[in-house]
Amino acid sequence: MNEKIKTAKIRIKTDSDKYIINKNIYGHFAEHLGRCIYDGIFVGKGSPIPNRDGIRTDIVEALRKIKIPVLRWPGGCFADEYHWKDGIGPLEKRAKMINTHWGGVVEDNSFGTHEFFRLCELLDTEPYICGNVGSGTVREMSEWIEYMNFDGESPMANLRRQNGREKAWGLKYFGIGNENWGCGGRMRAEYYADLYRHYATYVRDYGNYSLFRIAAGPRGSNYHWTEVLMREAGDFMDGLGLHYYTRIGDKVVVKKAADGNEIYLRDESASRGSATEFGEKEWFGIMKASWFTEELVVNHSAIMDKYDPDKKVALIVDEWGTWYDNEPGTNPGFLYQQNTMRDAVSAAISLNIFNNHCDRVRMANIAQTVNVLQAMILTQGEKMLCTPTYHVFDLFAPHQDSRLLPADIDVENYTYLGEELPGLSVSASKNKDGNIFLTIANPDPSNSIELFVEIRPGVVKKVGGSIVTSGNMQDFNDFDYPDKIRVRKFDTARPGAGGVTATIPPMSIISLSCVI
């Protein structure tokens, strides 16, 4: 196809900076699923792979580089099957269980509470733990918090000391269950709202450690769930989750009951397509599904606004990302998939959406950190690589805790077989020195864009840039070519009268750092 050069204009008002882009939007998620924890992050102290306390040092280094602010654990669906006491104390005494949800493998509990906090310490990241409502008890959940957060004399605090940890960790982010409309107990919203209130009461604040309580949120467009949760339990929560996976080809039957509740049934034989073998039809499908995130955020936020006009309750998108068929030859319960330029552009669209709605979206956790779904890192024995999605997180990192500047965009749409999508995805922020940072994704795989960014008031003195792109939409990093796609210098942007000019190549993500 002949390349067509489109033109676009973005207007940024540097004095319109009401909201902060919470750094936790750049959060991550690590579940006891497939090779995320075991044979991924955690290789055990005796492993020949370099590690600290069993945690891979190369993974720690890579994740520290992108400044991951918060890490959710231990699930996911696993959270509602997890009994935390099985994962503490001497290793040889820890109970073994079957991870029934994910591949039916033996979980030996060698990675438990202490190991998770050690991981967060090494990563310099805030822990976010998800508790068990589905198959646990109020007492079990309450004792876990006492174990982690109480510094005085008590049965759980003493048990922690017996296991080698004197001082309480002071956990902040705590989730009361996961997907309780599905794998977390197939509950109706009304039932879960009551259970939420009940469980949330007994997870106590100890001393100065005040918990940030997060209710399990809806799946995608289940607006009934948000309505009921906000109405019945909104006063008792700090955050409400939202799970949305960017998928195509999914066959889901949604049965809607008269009271508004929904039951989801998925046709397990339906293919979600290959992660690496696709054409523009599937590329476009993923872009469209990525943009749908905005509709979800807007609609759930509108319901939240009704019950919480002061926006006290954060919308926490604690699971998001692309989901394809597992790589051929891998355990289908392990959700291992490759990661191409398509995933990089999709991640950029979602992150720009979260930034642009940071008045309500104050945390997001991409699924998942290592070897599962839209991973940052893939490992093979002692080898590891950073995926294109990792490089997008690297590129976007300067937005963390900066002030959002709304971006007004004029651009021709990206069209495919008569369907249209926005031609650019953009977000902009201002850091504490007053400099402006923009992230721009061009989802069109064939056409570049001549862009003018108007930046007022102020004069752009200098502009620097970075880019993530590749020659083909199916390109990915593999263990033989781990650096095919990475952040490279983008040095063609120029400061001009009233702003910056740049040419945005097809299927690329660029960042512009403007010194004012």
Q: Is 76 in the site for ligand AHR (CB under 6 A)?
A: yes
Name all contacts of 493-497 with Cβ < 8 Å and 24+ positions apart. 493/463, 493/464, 493/465, 494/463, 495/460, 495/461, 495/462, 495/463, 496/452, 496/460
Residue nearest to ligand AHR (CB): 76
Q: How far is the CB of 75 from ligand AHR (least distance, A)?
A: 5
Q: How far is the CB of 321 from ligand AHR (least distance, A)?
A: 8
* Number of separate helices (H) and strands (E) present in the chain: 9, 29
Judged by CB under 6 A, which stretch of 153-161, 343-351, 367-375, 493-501 contacts ligand AHR?
A: 367-375
CA distance linking residue 90 with residue 106, whole number of Å:
18
Active site residue 319: yes
Q: Is 31 in the site for ligand AHR (CB under 6 A)?
A: yes
Q: Which residue in the set 367, 395, 467, 507 belongs to the binding site for ligand AHR (CB under 6 A)?
A: 367
Q: Is the peptide bond before 27 cis (omega within 30 degrees of 0)?
A: no
Q: How far is the CB of 102 from ligand AHR (least distance, A)?
A: 8
Q: Which is nearer to ligand AHR, 179 or 475 (CB)?
A: 179
Q: How far is the CB of 243 from ligand AHR (least distance, A)?
A: 6
R_g (Cα) of the chain, nearest Å? 23
Site residues for ligand AHR, 316-335, by CB under 6 A, read 319
Which run of H or of E encompasses 65? helix 57-65
Q: How far is the CB of 368 from ligand AHR (least distance, A)?
A: 6
Binding residues with ligand AHR: total (CB under 6 A): 10
Q: How far is the CB of 265 from ligand AHR (least distance, A)?
A: 14
Active-site residue (options: 31, 179, 227, 294): 179
Q: Is 234 in the site for ligand AHR (CB under 6 A)?
A: no
CA distance linking residue 137 with residue 285, whole number of Å:
42
Concatenate the DSSP letters of all residues of 301-369 into one string: HHHHHHH-TT--SEEEEEEEEE--PPPTTS-GGG-----BHHHHHHHHHHHHHHHHTTTTEEEEEEE-S
Q: Which is nearer to ligand AHR, 76 or 388 (CB)?
A: 76
Q: Is 80 in the site for ligand AHR (CB under 6 A)?
A: no
Q: Which residue in the set 40, 69, 74, 75 belongs to the binding site for ligand AHR (CB under 6 A)?
A: 75
**Contact of 134 with 84, CB cutoff 8 Å:** no
Active site residue 179: yes
Q: Which is nearer to ligand AHR, 138 or 183 (CB)?
A: 183
What burial letters (b/e) apply to 247-285, b meaning 16+ CB within 10 Å? bbeeeeeeeeeeeebbeeeeeeeeebbbbbebeeebbbb
Give catalytic residues, as residue numbers.
179, 319
Binding residues (CB under 6 A) for ligand AHR: these are 31, 75-77, 178-179, 319, 367-368, 373
